Amino acid sequence: MPATDNILALEKEGVSARIYLESLTGLRGIAAAWVALWHAWGFAGRPEYRIELGHLSFELTPLIRTGWAGVDIFFVLSGFVLGLAYCQAWLGNRPPIRTGEYFRRRLLRVLPALWVQIAVLVLLLVAAGSQLPPLSEILSQALLTHNLLGSQKHQLNPVYWTLPVEFDFYLLLPLMALLVSPRRWPWLLLGLAAVVGYRYALFHSLLAQAPTQEKVWWLNQLPGRIDQFLSGMTAAWIYSAIRQKGFRTSRVYRLRGVLLALGILGFAFMAWYIHRTQPIGATNVAGLTYWGGHWSLFFWHSLSGIFIASIVLGAALGTRVTDYLLANRLILFLGIISYSLYLWHFPIVEWLSRQHLPPIVDGYPFFNRVAWAALPVVLVSALSYWLVERPFLKIRHHVRS
């Protein structure tokens, strides 16, 4: 795919760490697609889903129903990729990071595609005669402050909840970068434990009388998910240390396949755990749903972040499996457009779900949702990348040079 190669050249040009890892771009694409599949599954009525091959039956429901964990992958990847630039600066492999340059690059990466989508969604609501959110809510979403100054019920796009979490991490990153060197790891572990305690106290004490949806909203805001960013940053430090020492002389490098396998198995177990202990629409023996205060709510993201960091580190170090699965041109293309894919999939899937489209295959509502939505989502996302993200990436790279 020559077009993908040309776009990759632009992506590689502006990497702050001076290291571009194709497998991580592919992983980002898989994360975005996973979230999109989860939303399509929700609009399909959340059916149980399995594939029958002769006498064999493969249960895919745990994989699909935990598609929201694609966001966890995003958070760990952000910690790794942005933390990697700081690690390279510490090791003298790039100039020290200037705070002004850092924030300028982040804003040019995140805001243009978001602002264009907000403008398009507002215009579509006006054209349809639908009620608009208050102007203050629209502005807070455009400025990534709606987690503090806005309301989740007025979000133009439900996926927007993650954007201020990421942005708040960007604000804290220059300080957090001081924590990931080995001599400060005891403080890092203490901080991770404090995050778990914070989640529990917030849920059962500070917001004890609040609706569950409001509790979950605040649990997901920083510092509630900061542990996942830190897991990614720690993996970046380990990668940098191995690279500096020399890959071939590192025992961790020789065990990169084990790291990858342990991460995948651990993350798969976390998905299976939720599915088996928390059947769809049911409560557990304590009468609590996962989101209603089950003990795993306070640990799930922390443990998953560690397993994802193991996957990220294994993929960054490179194996034949990751090169084949994550660095092929199709998955790389999804990774390149992943931000636009993340922004645009929900409005498109939601709109298509209202059109009463005929089933392509009877009895498979989830498959039908995906089949109808896949091409429109990819096309709109690719256009968003090409017409909006790409020009501002060029500006960002030019500013740096």
Helix (H) or strand (E) holding 56: strand 56-59
Tens digit of pLDDT for each residue in 311-338? 999 999 988 889 999 999 999 999 999 9
**Which carries the bigger pLDDT value, residue 182 or residue 23?**
23
Q: What is the pLDDT of residue 319?
A: 85
Statement: residue 5 has pLDDT above 70: no
Q: What angle do CA 59, 63, 325 make, to 5 degrees?
A: 105
Statement: residue 401 has pLDDT above 50: no
**Which carries the bigger pLDDT value, residue 313 or residue 277?**
313
- Give the 3-state secondary structure of 109-150: HHHHHHHHHHHHHHHHHHHHCCCCCCHHHHHHHHCCCHHHHC
> What distances in angstroms separate CA 6 from CA 2, 9, 10, 20, 258, one per listed residue?
6, 5, 7, 15, 33
Contact 270, 256 (CB under 8 A): no
Domain ranges of the chain: 2-400
Q: What is the pLDDT of residue 266?
A: 97
Statement: residue 186 has pLDDT above 50: yes
Contact 397, 13 (CB under 8 A): yes
